[in-house]
Structure 1
Amino acid sequence: MVLKTFGWSFAITALGLVAAVFYGGWTAVGVVAILAVLEISLSFDNAVVNAGILKKMNAFWQKIFLTVGVLIAVFGMRLIFPVVIVAISAKLGPIEAVDLAFSQPDRYQQLVTDAHPSIAAFGGMFLLMIFLDFIFEERDIQWLRWIERPLAKLGKVDMLSVCIALIALLVASVTVATHAHQHGGVHVDKAATVLLSGIAGLITYLIVGGLSGFFENRLEEEEEREHEEEEEAKRTGKKKSAVVLAGQAAFFMFLYLEVLDASFSFDGVIGAFAITNDIVMMALGLGIGAMYVRSLTVYLVRQGTLDDYVYLEHGAHYAIGALAVILLVTIQYEINDIITGLIGVVLIAWSFLSSLNRNKKLAGAEGKPTASDDKAEVSSGV
């Protein structure tokens, strides 16, 4: 099972390290390995959240996630994205931007760093919306009941998450965004950039997440209707339309996953410059890490880990909320990636231990916990 799921990751790791040897010797191998570990540590919560979405897809779309999705993640976000940022910031063509990355790596790094406020605002708002929509949703199983129960009641207010996200963006744009350029004298422009980028992140979430949820709900309704009227569905051809709808639902969920991964990768790409400004080693290291994150996502789905350890998804979403706040804070203040990674690891480890404790209590009370027990439980917490 492990080899089947992580086989491609092991193969990509071997190829990446061999490429690093030929590119820059054993020093490059060390840098690539560090970058891979950095990416995995920063994105473990991404894997847990992805698993919650990916388990709704069939085997075909899981394969798409591991093939096309990896190409987008490795080449799109870890290699092409920094080049595009530089091209836009410096008003250069793509070829000139790539040439700048090799000929003037320090200048290239500076341009990417200068673009960080807008990147952080976009990613921070997207991730913040994911966290807010999760925490304001009424759910059967609760982890930190003293937080989640009152917030779930507040979540009944329409558009509350959007309002809070916009307030957070407004506060960021007139505080940390303004101070970010207090020495350069471009206060208004920087605040406007952060504001526009944050709104773009919010709009992206609403469009992609909205379409994904719409088609998913339509699919569930169609499947329920077909179950009730199976004979009529066969005669009228409704079953065929449901297959098409399933494809639409899966496509938009896949698109949502890719935008989610992009938002998670922002801090990894920016943080990688603290280790190296060589785009080849950066692409190799972050690419290897991204591959493991995807394999881990599929592993969690196939093992049913989220069903067995029901608080993992909660811990991952709290980590997402923390990362969203960190991204907004880094518009002005530098936060070490070790701290960012540790926050996510601690929250997920805490949720995992809470899940173990819950399972032990269920086993003691009922003999042995089952999947039906998990679903039947109204609420639980620590």
Structure 2
Amino acid sequence: MNQPQTHTTLLGYLKWSIIATVVGLALGAVLGWQTTGSIGGMLTVFFICAVLAVLEISLSFDNAIVNANKLKDMTPVWQHRFLTWGILIAVFGMRIVFPLLIVVIAAGIGPIDAVVLAAAQPEEYARIMNEAHLPIAAFGGTFLMMVGLTYFFNHEKDVHWISVFEKYMSRYSTIKGIEIAFVLLLVLVFSSLLEGEESDTFVMSAIYGLLTFLAVELIGGLLDASQQAMTEAARGGLGAFIYLEVLDASFSFDGVIGAFALTQNLFVIAIGLGIGAMYVRSMTIMLVEKETLTHYRYLEHGAFYAILILSVIMYVQTLYHIPEVITGLGGASLIGLALWSSIRYNRAEQQRETDLSRGHI
């Protein structure tokens, strides 16, 4: 579905994100003053909130591009629902409820007790979260890897950025289950590098991640097929919405866990990552309305390469700690290179058209 281009400025798209930034940082400063009672403590919490917001933006820019790719085919009603309900689920569900749910399951305590634990014993709360990192990384890494591979293993894909890889992947995409076989091979490799219970946990979590991807694809296909049978205009509805929510959750895993390296305060993490999530929403809207993916043909490729890199990093993090700054910069660098390649292609096309019009070719 093609969106009419708008004349909204960059500042117009970022209006609500800027408001969320001001409110969030103010809340962070108040929280810092209440918990430490000092100017230094207040400034420290203020700074951590700002750093977490930047971390979330850097880790999730590829998320915004993938969201825009899916949203452009959704009806305006479902676009609006995702950009309103979806952002509420992303901010409150993944940044607050998800970490609490992990503690509830891991510690075997109630939700209220988990909130009390986060407020009164942040060190213990952080310890439980860190212990849950392995299954989360295996689950999220597997889901994201399937997302990335499904994009490249597509026989209908005829635009290639890094042709040496993409042409072969497109050619062999007709082999049924090739993406699943590739992921399962990696799961076996990484599980062999772990020992005992950790290896079993990795395999089981990765299997659940794979099954979740297949289930979301199945549900999305069934829902969209039934909607298409009713009316062509209803396509890209609930199925796409569910897919984007699970995708956002997978992207959020790394940011939520990585945030505990900066602070053990759940509420500070929620503020910082919540601010970042608002910018991801703003970027998604801008990419859809400006039809940026149409104008920059390789930008989407860069995002899916970044997804594949992130999925591998999540696997590697089960063995070694990788600083979040490397993860964020890696994804941003790939997207930057894709943007640069797109600009070069556009200039070359413009020059070719100019030469044709002048009769030079």
Corresponding residue of 1:117? 134
14, 25, 31: which one aligns with 1:6: 14
Map of 1:281 onto structure 2: 268
| Aligned partner letter, 1:126 | F
Could you say which residue in structure 2 is the equivalent of 1:253? 240
Q: 1:368 to 1:35 in 2, by over 3 A?
A: farther
**TM-score, normalised via structure 1 length:** 0.85
Q: Deviations over 1:340-371 (max 9, x none)?
A: 111101110111011011101110111399xx
Shift of 1:60: 2.2
Distance in 1 between the 2:221 and 2:51 partners?
37
Matched with 2:298 is: 311
Assess if the C-alpha contact under 8 Å between 2:118 and 2:266 holds in 1: yes
Distance in 2 between the 1:213 and 1:145 partners? 29
Q: Determine if contact 2:75/2:233 at 8 Å carries over to the other structure.
A: no
Match of residue 289, structure 2, among 302, 314, 327? 302
Task: Structure 1: give runs of 5+ residues left out of the alignment.
Answer: 179-186, 223-240, 370-382
Pick which of 23-32 and 329-338 moved more: 23-32
The answer for the alignment partner of 2:38 in structure 1 is none
Count of aligned pairs:
338
**Per-residue deviation, 1:115:** 0.4
For 2:30, the equivalent position in structure 1 comes to: 22
Which of 154, 157, 169 in structure 1 is aligned with 2:175?
157
Q: Percent identity?
A: 45
* Secondary structure class of the residue paired with 1:331: coil
TM-aligned CA distance change 1:212 to 1:367, over 3 Å:
farther
Contact 1:315/1:350, CA 8 A, preserved across alignment: yes
Alpha-carbon distance in 1 for matches of 2:329, 2:207: 29
1:242 aligns with 2:231: yes
Counterpart residue type for residue 98 of structure 1 = V
What are the equivalent positions in structure 2 for 1:228-239 lying under 5 Å apart?
none
The equivalent of 1:144 in structure 2 is: 162
Q: Which moved more, 1:298-307 or 1:208-217?
A: 208-217
- Report deviation, 1:7: 2.2
The equivalent residue for 1:331 is 318
In 2, the alpha carbon distance for the partners of 1:209 and 1:92 equals 33
Q: Deviations over 1:279-319 (max 9, x none)?
A: 11100000000111111011101001000001011010000
1:104 aligns with 2:121: yes
Q: What is the SS of the residue equivalent to 1:274?
A: coil
- Does residue 352 of structure 1 match 2:339? yes
User: Pick from 55, 59, 65: which aligns with 2:82?
Assistant: 65
CA distance in 1, matches of 2:13, 2:355: 28
Check whether the contact 1:66–1:295 (CA below 8 A) recurs between aligned residues.
no
Matching residue within 188, 204, 220 for 1:196: 204
Q: CA deviation at 1:216?
A: 4.2
The 2-side partners of 1:367 and 1:201 are apart by 50
Contact 1:62 1:298 in 2 (8 A): no
5 Å-filtered alignment, 1:154-233, equals 154-175=172-193, 177-178=194-195, 187=196, 189-216=197-224
Instruction: Name the aligned partner's letter for residue 204 of structure 2.
Output: L
Ranges in structure 2 where 5+ consecutive residues have no aligned partner: 1-7, 33-41, 357-361
Instruction: Classify 1:362/1:214 alpha carbon distance in 2 versus 1 (closer, same or farther; 3 Å).
Output: farther
Corresponding letter in the other structure for 1:257: L
Match of 1:78 in 2: 95
The verdict on how the C-alpha distance between 1:158 and 1:368 changes in structure 2, with shifts beyond 3 A counting, is: farther
C-alpha distance after superposition, 1:178-202 (max 9, x if no partner): 2xxxxxxxx1x22221111111111
Judge conservation of contact 1:362–1:368 (CA < 8 Å) in 2.
Answer: no
Query: How much has 1:91 moved relative to structure 2?
Result: 1.1
Q: Do the aligned residues in 2 keep the contact of 1:47 with 1:293 (CA within 8 Å)?
A: yes
Distance, in Å, in 2 between the alignment partners of 1:276 and 1:38 is 13
CA RMSD of superposed structures (Å): 1.8
| TM-score (structure 2 length as normaliser) | 0.90
Shift of 1:4: 3.9
Which amino acid is the alignment partner of residue 308 of structure 1? H
